[in-house]
Amino acid sequence: MGEVKEKKASKPDETSEEGIPGVITTTTSAISDLLKKTKVQDLINWGRKNSLWFMTQPMGCCGVEMIAMGCAHYDTDRFGIIPRNSPRQADVMLISGYVTKKYLPSLKRLWEQMPSPKWVMCIGDCSISGGPFYESYSTVQNIDEIFPIDVFVPGCPPRPEAMLQGFVELQEKIKAKKDLGSEY
Amino acid sequence: MDVAEILKSLTGAFPEAISEATAESEIRARSYVDKERVREVCQYLKDSLQFDHLCSVCGVDYIKRNELEVVYHIASYDHPVVLTLKARLPRENPEIESIVSVYWNANWYERETYELFGILFKNHPNLKPLVLPEDMLGEWPLRKDYEGFPNKTARNLV
Amino acid sequence: MEEKLEPNEMIVHLGPQHPMQPGPFRLNLRLKGETVVDADIELGFIHKGIEKILENKTYLQGITIVDRICYLVALVNEECFVGCTEKLLGIEPPERAQYIRVILEELTRIQSHLLGMGEFGEFIGFVSMFMYTIREREEVLSLIDMVTGARITHSYLKVGGVRDDLPDGFKEKALSVLNNLKKSVDDFEEMFHTDRIFRERTVGVGVLTADAAKNLGVSGPVLRATGVPFDIRKNEPYLVYKDLDFKVCTETAGDCFARVQVRINEIRESIYILEQCLDQIPGGPLFPEGTLYGRRTPVMRVPAGEVFHRVEDPRGEMGMYMISDGSDKPYRVKIRGPYYPTLQALPPLIIGTTVADVASISGSMDGCTSEADR
């Protein structure tokens, strides 16, 4: 009798450890690791690369061109690239200008607020190498050591066509699974 | 109102505070002002001579003369004359009277001059850094002997 | 802003990244219910120290840097910088160069106003307006692109003249673009006037009286919307503006609606100025004859002296104070941007209004944070 009681008492503990029968719960990322090696990841990436929503965050001259790129004339909607105002809804952060010492903490926080998978692009000379303000007392250099940057678009400022080309390059990178935004 | 009339009126009202008053052209005048009496002079300009628009306040570092200058550009909405008032200050502990009580928009200009040059504006309502981060206060980046310029942290600098 | 809050008060930080803003700045609002009781602005998120950089560049290199003060009106910034240098040197550009400068600066004014109006529409939930104005702006930008070779930062003005002549076929293309623009501006006006939501969010919101505006030190369309005809092009004519016929657009209401109306009227005046310029533009050289100044000006030493030069920016009065000590670099350049005092006047305007009006009032100022930060 005593043994049976013990068995009954211990049964709920077993289910909480091993999960509901028929459902496998694991704490490892084995399945997603497995998926990354199969064609399913290609399908996921196809979806990701065709909906690159970027965050509008004008920081300099390139910010104006970024706005122009997202609007009627250049019409990035046809590539699935849509401007969003909130970091929570965005996939791509464009560093569109000089990063100052005062702005860097806010920029890091914006980057943390974005949900994964996420990518970051450098637009313009200022964010790549300092541009015309490389010697200023207020700007931060070497942005690529701080953020995992996938695409650099040079120009001061780059034309909207160049930015579009940058987005196309990012799409190619995602398709080839060589982007820094997700782990393969 | 023309330049000669303005300068005559100004030097007449403050004979000891205004010095070296000159007219550069028909619409530009320049003068030095005693640093203790800037606020009074501005009040007079605003009340009696229609100078109701403050263009800018800025600092200039004359390191060879060991002096700082605060330069006020005061204009008017009615006549095209711009008066450049300058006040000489020593480079150590520069202090000057704030003119926020006369021209409301001097507030930010004075805050900016304070953080970039280290000029202390007495009786300013809220004298704290405006454009620089708090930890850069005390470096006075726009002074000529500032050492952080050019910034050499860029990795790929040729 | 004091940290101690009363029971029904809260502090809301708008920015540094917020759709309402033309660039990063932080607006701290202290709210009591829906009402703003205190407001405070933090600047400097894109302060890049242009004044210090200009002290270490030659006059010719400086033209490239002043482009980036405010990227929407690069040519007007150049005009101010180059005007200062020309005054110190005592030279004046020939008449053709002056006309070309006026043409390009008025085109700049048109595109800046178009973007400003569109952005304002977007801020208060009128996004289709933004798409319409951007479409017209691209046409104007293509005209500027045709002359200078760049869309927003040009480095086109040189000391004593301009870099290149107008290309062939510019006049015909410009006239056709301007004719289309006239119709579009009429459409925009009709859209602004008939949209009920737009009217309710702007009429009577953010009212500024003439005396208050003068006290706050604002200029440009914000001031002209209160009825003060203050325009540097009339008060202190530079270039060939004294030969041209135009009027200063004013409104009397002083609210957000009046500011947009002033911008619409100014676009019309600019089109009128452009038509006159295209008609009257004389032939001749682009640089003063008999001097060394030209496209490839060598390193020049500017005589010692100081000058304060003002031009009319699309946002108001733009001034630069330049001191030269006789070397090839300026000793000190102070940039007095028009948006700086306008942004400073934002907290007094929004105190006492509701949160919903903050976007409306801030957007009607047509800002450019880069120029306030420099």
- At residue A25 the predicted structure's pLDDT band, cuts being 50, 70 and 90, is low
Tell me if B56 and C345 make a contact (CB, 8 A cut-off): no
B139 touches chain C (CB under 8 A): no
Regions of chain B with pLDDT less than 70: 154, 156-158
List the structure tokens of A126: 């200022």
Residues sharing a CB contact under 8 Å with residue B53, sequence separation 6 or more, in sequence order: B74, B75, B76, B77, C214, C217, C219
- In this prediction, residue A184 carries a pLDDT of 58
List the structure tokens of A14: 């077993």
Using the predicted structure, report yes or no on whether residue A36 has a pLDDT greater than 80: no
In a domain, B52, yes or no: yes
- In this prediction, residue A7 carries a pLDDT of 44
- In this prediction, residue B132 carries a pLDDT of 85
- In this prediction, residue A49 carries a pLDDT of 86
- The model's pLDDT over C297-310, given as tens digits with 9 standing for 90+, comes to 666 788 888 899 88
Q: What is the pTM of this model?
A: 0.88
Tell me if C308 and B107 make a contact (CB, 8 A cut-off): no
- The model's pLDDT over C222-255, given as tens digits with 9 standing for 90+, comes to 888 898 888 888 888 888 888 888 888 888 888 8
The residue among C185 and C14 whose pLDDT is bigger is C185
- Checking phi first, is residue A157 left (phi over 0); if not, alpha (psi -120 to 50) or beta? beta
Using the predicted structure, report yes or no on whether residue A2 has a pLDDT greater than 70: no
- At residue A19 the predicted structure's pLDDT band, cuts being 50, 70 and 90, is low
DSSP run (H or E) holding C103: helix C95-123
- At residue A9 the predicted structure's pLDDT band, cuts being 50, 70 and 90, is very low
Q: Average pLDDT, stretch C14-29?
A: 82
Tell me the chain C residues in contact with residue B129 when contact means C-beta distances shorter than 8 Å: 44
The answer to whether A62 and A124 are in contact (CB under 8 A) is yes
**CA distance readout (Å), C371 to A42, C23, C43, C103:** 46, 10, 11, 23
- At residue C271 the predicted structure's pLDDT band, cuts being 50, 70 and 90, is very high
d(CA C169, CA A170): 39
Tell me the chain C residues in contact with residue A87 when contact means C-beta distances shorter than 8 Å: 17
- In this prediction, residue C204 carries a pLDDT of 84
Q: Domain locations in chain A?
A: 2-41, 46-175
Which residue in the set B56, B61, B131 is minimally distant from C47, CB to CB? B131
Tell me if B131 and C44 make a contact (CB, 8 A cut-off): yes
Give the β-pairing of A83-84 and B67-75: unpaired
Domain limits for position B30: 3-136
Q: Which site among A125, A134, A140, A144 would you substitute to test the B interface, given the most B Cβ atoms closer than 10 Å to its Cβ? A: A134
Tell me if B150 and A135 make a contact (CB, 8 A cut-off): yes
Q: Average pLDDT, stretch C251-262?
A: 88
| Backbone φ and ψ of B66, nearest 5° | 55, 45
In a domain, B131, yes or no: yes
- In this prediction, residue B2 carries a pLDDT of 81
Within 10 angstroms of residue C10's Cβ, the number of other Cβ atoms is 11
- How many Cα atoms occupy the beta-carbon half-sphere of A124 within 13 Å? 28
Using the predicted structure, report yes or no on whether residue A17 has a pLDDT greater than 70: no
d(CA C343, CA C339): 6
The answer to whether C277 and C106 are in contact (CB under 8 A) is yes
Across the A/C interface, how many CB contacts are shorter than 8 Å? Answer: 95
- At residue A1 the predicted structure's pLDDT band, cuts being 50, 70 and 90, is very low
Tell me if B149 and A142 make a contact (CB, 8 A cut-off): no
CATH 3.40.50.12280 fits A46-175, yes or no: yes
- The model's pLDDT over B91-136, given as tens digits with 9 standing for 90+, comes to 888 888 888 888 888 888 888 888 888 888 888 888 888 888 888 8
3-state DSSP assignment of residue B21 = strand
d(CA C211, CA C214): 5
- The model's pLDDT over A42-96, given as tens digits with 9 standing for 90+, comes to 888 888 888 888 888 888 788 888 888 888 888 888 888 888 888 888 888 888 8
Percent over 70 (pLDDT), chain C: 98
The answer to whether C258 and B103 are in contact (CB under 8 A) is no
- The model's pLDDT over A98-148, given as tens digits with 9 standing for 90+, comes to 888 888 888 888 888 888 788 888 888 888 887 888 888 888 888 888 888
Which CATH number covers residue B46? Answer: 3.30.460.80
List the structure tokens of C367: 């800002």
B1 touches chain C (CB under 8 A): no
- In this prediction, residue C272 carries a pLDDT of 92
Tell me if A137 and C49 make a contact (CB, 8 A cut-off): yes
The residue among C57 and C294 whose pLDDT is bigger is C57
The answer to whether C350 and C361 are in contact (CB under 8 A) is yes
Count of the separate structural domains present in chain B: 1
Using the predicted structure, report yes or no on whether residue C214 has a pLDDT greater than 50: yes
Tell me the chain A residues in contact with residue B148 when contact means C-beta distances shorter than 8 Å: 137
Which residue in the set B139, B149, B155 is minimally distant from A142, CB to CB? B155
Alpha carbon of B91: minimum distance to chain A alpha carbons (Å): 21
The answer to whether B20 and B32 are in contact (CB under 8 A) is yes
Name the burial class of residue C175, with classes exposed (0-12), middle (13-18) and buried (19+) by CB atoms within 10 angstroms of its CB: middle
d(CA C374, CA C369): 8
Tell me if B156 and A129 make a contact (CB, 8 A cut-off): yes
- At residue A8 the predicted structure's pLDDT band, cuts being 50, 70 and 90, is very low
3-state DSSP assignment of residue C22 = coil
C170 touches chain A (CB under 8 A): no
Cα dihedral sign, C303-C304-C307-C312: positive
Tell me if A136 and C48 make a contact (CB, 8 A cut-off): yes
The answer to whether B17 and B37 are in contact (CB under 8 A) is yes
Say whether the peptide bond before residue C167 is cis (omega within 30 degrees of 0). Answer: no
Residues sharing a CB contact under 8 Å with residue C31, sequence separation 6 or more, in sequence order: C9, C10, C11, C12, C37, C355
Angle between helices B3-13 and B38-48 in degrees, nearest 10: 130
ipTM score of complex: 0.89
Using the predicted structure, report yes or no on whether residue A22 has a pLDDT greater than 80: no
**CA distance readout (Å), C360 to A49, B24, B119, C347, C355:** 36, 43, 37, 13, 9
Q: Average pLDDT, stretch C361-368?
A: 84
C51 touches chain B (CB under 8 A): yes
DSSP run (H or E) holding A92: strand A92-95
Of A118-122, C18-22, C166-170, C267-271, where does mean pLDDT reach its minimum? Answer: C18-22
Which residue in the set B27, B56, B105 is minimally distant from C216, CB to CB? B105
Structural domains of chain C, ranges and CATH numbers in brackets:
50-373 (1.10.645.10)
Q: Average pLDDT, stretch C349-361?
A: 87
| Backbone φ and ψ of C76, nearest 5° | -70, -40
List helix spans (H) across C30-169.
50-55, 59-67, 74-89, 95-123, 127-148
Q: Which site among A55, A67, A109 would you substitute to test the C interface, given the most C Cβ atoms closer than 10 Å to its Cβ? A: A67
- In this prediction, residue B156 carries a pLDDT of 61
C22 touches chain A (CB under 8 A): yes
Give the β-pairing of C305-313 and C316-324: antiparallel
Between CA B109 and CA B117, with CA B115 as vertex, the angle to 5 degrees is: 90
C53 touches chain A (CB under 8 A): yes
In a domain, B150, yes or no: no
Name the burial class of residue C292, with classes exposed (0-12), middle (13-18) and buried (19+) by CB atoms within 10 angstroms of its CB: exposed
- The model's pLDDT over C307-331, given as tens digits with 9 standing for 90+, comes to 998 898 888 888 899 999 888 888 9
- Checking phi first, is residue A155 left (phi over 0); if not, alpha (psi -120 to 50) or beta? left
- In this prediction, residue A4 carries a pLDDT of 44
